[in-house]
Amino acid sequence: MAPMESPGRLLAIDLGAKRVGVAVSDELRITIKPLAAIERRSAQDVRSVASKFQRSLDIPVYLQDERLTSFDAAANLRTSMSDLEIDAAIDSEAAALILRDFIVSNDRPDASGLEPGSY
C-alpha cells in the first residue's frame, strides 16, 4: 500500500545519537506538530531500530534521507528562540521537516511513493 493511501496520523522520528526528535501530523495530514524530544541511551543503528518498530508494531516504516534537516531546523528556530531553546527543540523540529517533506512528496499524483524500509 502506498504511504498516502492509508488514512490517519503520521509520525516522524529523527533518530539522532543523543536525542530522538518526534513530530506528528493531524488526522487529515494538514498540520504537523513537533513533540518533546526523547533522550537516547543507545547508539543502535537507525535501520535496526526501524526494523524493530516495523516488526513489533506491525506498521509500515519508511526511511527518508534527512541530511541537512537539522541545519534547516536550526535556521527556522533562530528567528524566535535562544541557543539554549534551540538545542532542546532542534531534533523534533527536524522531525517535523522530515514529516512535511514526506507528506508533500507522497501526496502528489505523480509521486512514485516510497517502499517500506527505503529512502
Would residue 5 count as lying in a domain? Answer: no
Would residue 2 count as lying in a domain? Answer: no
Residue 43 is part of which domain span? 11-107
Evaluate if pTM is beyond 0.75: no
Would residue 60 count as lying in a domain? Answer: yes
Over residues 98-117, mean pLDDT: 67
* 43-93 confidence digits (pLDDT tens): 778 888 888 888 888 778 888 777 778 888 988 898 889 988 888 898 999
Q: Which CATH number fits the domain that encloses residue 83?
A: 3.30.420.140
Q: Give the Cα separation of 27 and 50 in Å (integer).
A: 23
Say how many domains are in the chain: 1
pLDDT above 50 (res 110):
no
Would residue 115 count as lying in a domain? Answer: no
Would residue 118 count as lying in a domain? Answer: no
pLDDT grade, residue 31 (50/70/90)? Answer: very high
116: amino acid identity, one letter: P
Would residue 26 count as lying in a domain? Answer: yes
Over residues 5-22, mean pLDDT: 86
| pLDDT for res 4 | 65
Q: What residues does 24 pair with on adjacent strands?
A: 11, 33
| pLDDT for res 33 | 95
Over residues 88-108, mean pLDDT: 88
Would residue 73 count as lying in a domain? Answer: yes
